[in-house]
């Protein structure tokens, strides 16, 4: 099943949560935080503005992004956990 997001939505594959702290403490699965970084795997065409023009998306497939901790809708496709978010839910692009 292929997913093609509509309007200004993106499909993001979350990156793995960190397994240890910067000080070297190994975190058990129950203590790991929900990841907020991910890789964009699909991008919608953009939002249609009031004047009928199409606003281009500022991210593209393959970009690494930061998104809000509780934003988006979680789905599972072929055993992969994915998140669908609006472009406005993105916090930053990671370079």
90 CA to centre of own chain: 8
Domain boundaries, the chain: 9-16+33-94
- Structurally, at CATH architecture level, domain 9-16+33-94 sits in Roll (2.30)
What pLDDT digit, counting tens, does each position of 37-86 carry?
999 999 999 998 899 899 989 999 999 999 988 888 999 988 889 999 99
- d(CA 86, CA 44) in angstroms, rounded, equals 9
- d(CA 37, CA 90) in angstroms, rounded, equals 10
| Whole-prediction pTM | 0.77
């Amino acid at each position: 099943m292929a997913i093609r997001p509509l309007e200004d939505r993106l499909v993001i594959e979350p990156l793995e949560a960190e397994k240890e702290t910067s000080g070297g403490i190994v975190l058990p699965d129950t203590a790991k935080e929900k990841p907020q970084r991910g890789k964009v795997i699909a991008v919608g065409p953009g939002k249609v503005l009031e004047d009928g023009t199409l606003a281009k998306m500022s991210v593209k497939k393959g970009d690494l992004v930061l998104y809000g901790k509780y934003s988006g809708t979680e789905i599972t496709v072929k055993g992969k956990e994915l998140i669908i978010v609006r472009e406005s839910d993105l916090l930053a692009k990671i370079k």
